[in-house]
Structure 1
Amino acid sequence: MPDAPRVQIAGLTRRFGGRAVVDDVSLSIAPGQVTCLLGPSGCGKSTTLRMIAGVDRPDAGEIRLDGRLVCDAARSVPPEDRGVGLMFQDFALFPHMSVADNVAFGLSGSRAEKRARAQALLGRVSLDRHIDAYPHELSGGEQQRVALARAIAPRPRVMLMDEPFSGLDDRLRDEIRDQTLEVLKEEGTAVLLVTHEPQEAMRMADEIALMREGRIVQTGAPYNIYNNPVDREAAGFFSDINVISGEVNGALTQTPFGQFLAPGVPDGTRVDIVIRPQHLRIDFDRAGRGPNPTPQDGTPARAVVERARFIGRESLVEFRLEAGPCLTATVPSVFLPKPGTPMWLAIRRDRCFVFPQAKES
């Protein structure tokens, strides 16, 4: 039998100045599960986190932690009585306290017991040799790991994290993210991580809740949410995209790559066909002949190279179709054809998404 949700929120709503900043949000998190609340800045992620923590009060909805009702329209349990851990970008260690005392801050028991708990946790984040140091003697990454040890020291059953790694450089961020995830998983803690970075969510999450304008528009495992986006905007949030527009006629849309199915879409509807750059297939123009298409490819279309750049592990090649829009392809390793080089492009039909165009408000 699956574990009961450790965090369960239903219909959570918060308004400021008559505007719903968080609008009817519901989600649940099981013990040991990492859920990432992902979305652009200002979409309501941090407000949702603050309401779960108890530092902000919802206008509607309810919050349950381990089945216990901690907030609804009639009551709100104070933050200190909710048993949640908090970890933010500004980890704010106490500068006048040693590393040991920072980690042990808020723990009950004798001084020896608190130091033992601090030493055990610092050992798990490879900082036990700094137990008697002070925060100013540590690097930024080391301070971040002390903050992690302090957050989990009271053994919270729920950890709320708001952009906790955004102040670190990329290489250090990856290392500390992985270490944090390992420690929290071992503790069986339910984690809600707020981030605006899709790669961070994909790397850490068991489940992603994609948020936009105060609402959760899609939830799912990283693989599923990446490969089955709910709309064009969701597809574009996770990666660069190419978009080809067309009009549906008889459940088909005509494009430079041939016809594409648009089942169930009424005739006359404008649609966007979305393809990620890594799914464009390219070939040199050999005597005016295009590449031999596979069964999954659409009809090849002739294009001319506009620009090519090497960006590290791959090359980015921009094309202009003879009849149609500009498209971008990514190619592993170094591939730098000269501007003006004619090529053929084909796209994997099974890798395309077809979405009705959003109506202008």
Structure 2
Amino acid sequence: MNAPEPLPKTEQTAAPVPRLEIRDLSRHFAGRTVVDHVSLRVMPGQVTCLLGPSGCGKSTTLRCIAGVDMQDSGEIHLDGKLVCDTVFRVPPERRSIGLMFQDFALFPHMSVADNVAFGLTGGKAERRARVEALLDRVDLMRHIDAFPHELSGGEQQRVALARALAPGPSVMLMDEPFSGLDNRLRDGIRDETLEILKEAGAAVLLVTHEPEEAMRMADEIALMRDGRIVQQGAPYNVYNAPADKAAAAFFSDINVIRGVVRGALTDTPFGQFLAPGVPDGTEVDIVFRPQHVKIDFDRNGTGPLPTSRDGVPARGVVQRARFMGSESLVEFRMDHDLSILKATVPNVFLPKPGRPLWLTVRRDRCFVFPVTS
């Protein structure tokens, strides 16, 4: 009797392949490290923002991916295939990468149609159909024969987007593409651009130094500093679980209280804060944002009772208060050390300078970081 054939193994679902992957990328200029061992993955249809201050290496990373600059070490892969290392290099024009820059880089002597068609291959009718379809998508068909100088900044940005999308790139690289636009137009243009990019299914890597832009557009944020990615994740996680004090400060104003750890606790005028795993004697910064400060009235020199959620109240004197549109910003000089703390309050709250008030801080919105310098 023949032995029964073994049952086929259950097929395992293959891990999705990133549309763009960079591995351990580094770039040096004149002995200075500008990009320092950066690794990043962007999936099809995903928008990743490379976020950081000017000069941190964002644009250099983008230029290496595009092929207009050459890394000193590391690899770049598109759809799982190597396109560049320190030996092998696919030319920029063969990488299926679209580019958008701050200045739009439109050809002033060419019409809108010719700008969008630049770089397209195929017959004349085929190219024209592609141009018209894209201009219709960005609502610019009425300007098809116009020249760039006849368009507004927002319209020029949409022409640049149509031109970048025309060849059907699998990856779109965008370097501060909205910074030249008027604030009034920026939000609408950003939202419209994001919708078109998502529809096209390209993997998008957007460089910006504006946290609000990254939060608004990104599926994932890679926070960059001094050539390195210091934190990466969904916007909610990067904002609410910052890697260090500098990461928290990059997204918003912060308040900082310094203390010393004793028995995994730090004593402050706002009560004790937990510092689990931090050795005794370590100086720590307790970081919290102005919107997480609660304000209460002074009752003849006393404040509210302590609570487990908000801790111990500490008194401060109003230095100034400003209405910011959707909220009010109030600055206090604290009684215990004369430091300045900031609080934001929804709507209009404008107490007069010199008024004493009591502040508490939500424990679940505080971050404790060992002092590093």
TM-score normalised by L of structure 2: 0.94
Per the TM alignment, residue 292 of structure 1 is displaced from its structure 2 partner at its CA by 4.4
Higher mean C-alpha deviation, range 308-317 or range 185-194: 308-317
Per the TM alignment, residue 84 of structure 1 is displaced from its structure 2 partner at its CA by 0.3
Q: Which residue of 1 aligns with 2:9?
A: none
Bigger Rg, which one: 2
Give the letter for the 1:41 counterpart: S
Per the TM alignment, residue 156 of structure 1 is displaced from its structure 2 partner at its CA by 0.2
Whole-Å separation in 2 of the counterparts to 1:293 and 1:223: 30
Equivalent in 153, 156, 181 of residue 140 of structure 1: 153
Equivalent in 327, 331, 337 of residue 314 of structure 1: 327
Q: SS of the counterpart of 1:77?
A: coil
Q: Which whole-Å deviations, capped at 9, do the CAs of 1:155-213 have from their partners, x for residues lacking one? A: 00000000111001112111111111101100100000011111010000000000000
Superposed counterparts of 1:126-165, under 5 Å: 126-165=139-178
Q: Which residue of 2 aligns with 1:265?
A: 278
Asked whether 1:207 is paired with 2:209, we answer no
- Where does the alignment leave 5 or more consecutive residues of structure 2 unmatched? 1-12
Equivalent in 337, 341, 344 of residue 355 of structure 2: 341
Per the TM alignment, residue 294 of structure 1 is displaced from its structure 2 partner at its CA by 4.5
Q: Which residue of 1 aligns with 2:372?
A: 358
Asked whether 1:87 is paired with 2:100, we answer yes
Higher mean C-alpha deviation, range 115-124 or range 152-161: 115-124
Asked whether 1:30 is paired with 2:43, we answer yes
Q: Which residue of 1 aligns with 2:10?
A: none
Higher mean C-alpha deviation, range 105-114 or range 254-263: 105-114
Q: SS of the counterpart of 1:259?
A: strand
Q: Which residue of 2 aligns with 1:331?
A: 345
Give the letter for the 1:50 counterpart: R
C-alpha RMSD over aligned residues: 1.1
Whole-Å separation in 1 of the counterparts to 2:219 and 2:304: 40
Whole-Å separation in 2 of the counterparts to 1:286 and 1:115: 75
Equivalent in 254, 279, 295 of residue 267 of structure 2: 254
Asked whether 1:180 is paired with 2:200, we answer no
Whole-Å separation in 1 of the counterparts to 2:107 and 2:370: 53
Whole-Å separation in 1 of the counterparts to 2:108 and 2:226: 38
Q: SS of the counterpart of 1:91?
A: coil
TM-score normalised by L of structure 1: 0.97
Per the TM alignment, residue 114 of structure 1 is displaced from its structure 2 partner at its CA by 1.3
- Where does the alignment leave 5 or more consecutive residues of structure 1 unmatched? none
Per the TM alignment, residue 293 of structure 1 is displaced from its structure 2 partner at its CA by 4.6
Question: Does the 8 Å CA contact 1:3/1:31 hold for their aligned counterparts?
Answer: no
Give the letter for the 2:205 counterpart: L
Q: Which residue of 1 aligns with 2:296?
A: 283
Q: Which whole-Å deviations, capped at 9, do the CAs of 1:242-287 have from their partners, x for residues lacking one? A: 0000111111111110111111111111100001000000011123
**Alpha carbons of 1:275 and 1:156: their partners in 2 closer, same or farther (altered >3 Å)?**
same
Q: Which residue of 1 aligns with 2:118?
A: 105
Asked whether 1:58 is paired with 2:58, we answer no
How many aligned positions are there? 359
**What stretches of structure 1 move > 6 A for 4+ residues in a row?**
none
Give the letter for the 1:109 counterpart: G
Asked whether 1:240 is paired with 2:218, we answer no
Give the letter for the 1:253 counterpart: T
